Amino acid sequence: MRSLFAKILLAQVIAVVLALLVVVIITRASLDRGFIDFLERQESAVLEHLAPVLGELYATRGGWDFLRDEPHNWLHVLHEARPLRSDAAGRARLPPGARRRAGPSEGLADGLADGLAKGPPAGEEPFRWLRSFDRLQMRQRLFLLDERREYLAGAEVVAAGRQPLQPVIAGDSTVGWVGFVPMRQGLPPEARRFLRGQLGVLGVSLLVALVLAGGLSYALARQLSRPVRRLGETVSELSRGHYGRRAAVTGHDEIGHLADNVNRLAETLEQNRSARRRWMADIAHELRTPVAILKGEVEALADGVRQPDRRTFASLAEEIDQLGVLVNDLQSLALADAGALNLQQQALDLPELLRQVADAFRDRMAERGIRLELELPGALCLYADPQRLRQLFHNLLENAARYVSDGGRVRLIVDRTPDGVGIRLEDSGPGVGENHLGRLFERFYRVEPGRSRAGGGSGLGLAICRSIVEAHGGRIHAEPSPLGGLAIHLALPGVVDGA
């Protein structure tokens, strides 16, 4: 039982079976209680009718001696008594054809008194008003007590005070009590047979409901497990490197959202694979150039084509320095990817640090007629890594010095913000198309032709800048500059209060 389909089907079938069992138990208890309530109401109606008959019989016979001396007269009383029917309001009324008398027994006592000695007329079937109750064993449980609640006739009483009794009144006095012995074994046999029939019908109904619920559960489990199985197949294909595989989005429920997320993951994996391949190719290209130059210079020296003079050694040193810069940049990016870019944060004077970095580029830019402008606050203390910030702004100014046209402008602006500090580096161009702005911070990405490789660089400077900014918990993005070129916006947290 490992498949999702089997688990869902089993869970739903168990839930349905438990629900049906609860229904059976509640229904059985309700039927039992309903029958008991029904019998108790019948018993109460019997006692209310029989008590006045016995009261008038007591008055007619002058006491209970006819029952004490001759117990069989009790059966004659039960055989000859006729029931009162109940109208819709629950009030007792006479049998058809009977004349109403003022007495509560409706004249039955006279007939009973005459018939106690001689029994029923020959050839005449007595009307047994307890016949319907006889099947429920009510006659066997009926008993009569005298005024002192001592046993007179009927069923044997164990504890007369524990069951409801109906008083027998003659004149203005209570001369006896009549009642029923409680049922000792639950429902009577006739009631149990009726209940078994009802429970049989209920069992068939529940079996049909179980079959229908099982069919619906099967359909639902299959409907739920099918898209999950397809998602599993898609993820399995992605794990084997088939990043072009996509999952079918069949709805807007949780499974549909999961399929959509799987498709986004597949797109991301495919893009990352393409970027990794492109990055490896770019790294190989960037390393090949200085290595090829170094190899050519060394071979020229070995063949005697070039002389080992100062100029040759300077050329070799320049290529080695460029190769070292590339290796250092790759190391910085590798550390950033691994989350191991080490930061030695401390409180520093940000405007002073920017002035120092800008002074290193001022003469170089001045040679090309590029004007470097600084708009810095008087004092601003930032909690950051000074070495990494120097690398950050050095890369940004290096990027501007390489690609800004001769006679252009570069402006560095620092503002205090509610969340920290905002820094903008704007230049006069050439500009960058809006379709390139979002990719400027990708590794080895270059914009052609204005900002081409002709100006030098490995294409890793802005990628390193993004890694440093994000390591400090900041944000960086590019947008068109109001000066006509490119504007780099940075937001750095960590401003020391009181600065």
Kindly report, residue by residue over 249-271, the tens digit of the pLDDT. Answer: 777 777 778 888 888 888 888 87
Kindly state whether residue 119 falls inside one of the protein's structural domains: yes
Higher model confidence: residue 395 or residue 272? 395
Region 69-83: mean pLDDT is: 72
Last residue of some domain: 170, 189, 208?
A: 189
Higher model confidence: residue 2 or residue 129? 2
Region 463-483: mean pLDDT is: 91
- How much is the pLDDT for 107? 43
Q: Which of 408-412, 452-456, 478-482 has the lowest mean pLDDT?
A: 452-456
- How much is the pLDDT for 134? 42
Kindly state whether residue 202 falls inside one of the protein's structural domains: no
Residues 427 and 447 in one domain: yes
Higher model confidence: residue 220 or residue 153? 153
CA distance 128 to 470: 101
The confidence band for 149, taking pLDDT boundaries of 50, 70 and 90, is confident
CA distance 373 to 306: 45
Q: Which of 38-52, 98-112, 261-275, 445-459 has the lowest mean pLDDT?
A: 98-112
What CATH number is given to the structural domain containing 397?
3.30.565.10
Region 360-387: mean pLDDT is: 91
- How much is the pLDDT for 229? 79
Q: Report the mean per-residue pLDDT for the chain.
A: 76
Last residue of some domain: 337, 363, 382?
A: 337
With a cut of 50, say whether residue 87 has pLDDT above it. Answer: no
CA distance 395 to 388: 11
The torsion of the CA quartet 159, 161, 162, 168, rounded to 10 degrees, works out to: 110
Kindly state whether residue 221 falls inside one of the protein's structural domains: no
Residues 20 and 125 in one domain: yes
Region 361-382: mean pLDDT is: 91
Does the pTM surpass 0.75? The reply is no
Kindly state whether residue 234 falls inside one of the protein's structural domains: no
Kindly state whether residue 194 falls inside one of the protein's structural domains: no
Residues 41 and 148 in one domain: yes
Kindly state whether residue 218 falls inside one of the protein's structural domains: no
Residues 279 and 379 in one domain: no
Residues 32 and 104 in one domain: yes
Q: How many domains does the chain have?
A: 3
With a cut of 60, say whether residue 453 has pLDDT above it. Answer: no
Higher model confidence: residue 322 or residue 456? 322
Residues 328 and 369 in one domain: no
- How much is the pLDDT for 91? 40
Residues 324 and 402 in one domain: no
CA-closest candidate to residue 326, choices 387, 360, 284: 284
What CATH number is given to the structural domain containing 322?
1.10.287.130
Higher model confidence: residue 206 or residue 183? 206
Higher model confidence: residue 388 or residue 272? 388
Residues 25 and 127 in one domain: yes
- How much is the pLDDT for 88? 38
For 76, other C-beta atoms within 10 Å of its C-beta total 19
Residue 373 DSSP class: E
Higher model confidence: residue 120 or residue 215? 215
Six-digit token string for 331: 């190391």
CA-closest candidate to residue 250, choices 270, 225, 272: 225
Residue range of the domain that includes 22 = 4-189
Q: Is 86 helix (H, G, I), strand (E, B) or coil?
A: strand
Residues 182 and 320 in one domain: no
CB 389 within 8 A of CB 345: no
Kindly state whether residue 369 falls inside one of the protein's structural domains: yes
The confidence band for 171, taking pLDDT boundaries of 50, 70 and 90, is confident
Residues 314 and 352 in one domain: no
With a cut of 80, say whether residue 224 has pLDDT above it. Answer: no
Q: Which of 167-171, 184-188, 378-382, 476-480 has the lowest mean pLDDT?
A: 184-188
With a cut of 60, say whether residue 358 has pLDDT above it. Answer: yes
- How much is the pLDDT for 4? 64
Higher model confidence: residue 401 or residue 84? 401
Region 460-468: mean pLDDT is: 85
- How much is the pLDDT for 160? 55
Residues 62 and 80 in one domain: yes
- How much is the pLDDT for 80? 63
Residues 321 and 357 in one domain: no
Q: Which ranges of 345-421 does DSSP label H, i.e. alpha helix?
A: 350-367, 386-403
Last residue of some domain: 337, 359, 377?
A: 337
Residue 340 DSSP class: -
CA-closest candidate to residue 81, choices 124, 111, 60, 43: 111
Most confident of the following: 12-26, 166-180, 251-265, 429-443: 166-180
Q: Which of 27-41, 199-213, 302-316, 459-473 has the lowest mean pLDDT?
A: 27-41
With a cut of 50, say whether residue 120 has pLDDT above it. Answer: no
Span 90-117, pLDDT tens digits:
343 434 433 333 343 344 445 554 544 4
With a cut of 90, say whether residue 396 has pLDDT above it. Answer: yes
Six-digit token string for 287: 């390393």
Kindly state whether residue 474 falls inside one of the protein's structural domains: yes
With a cut of 50, say whether residue 85 has pLDDT above it. Answer: no
CA distance 11 to 213: 12
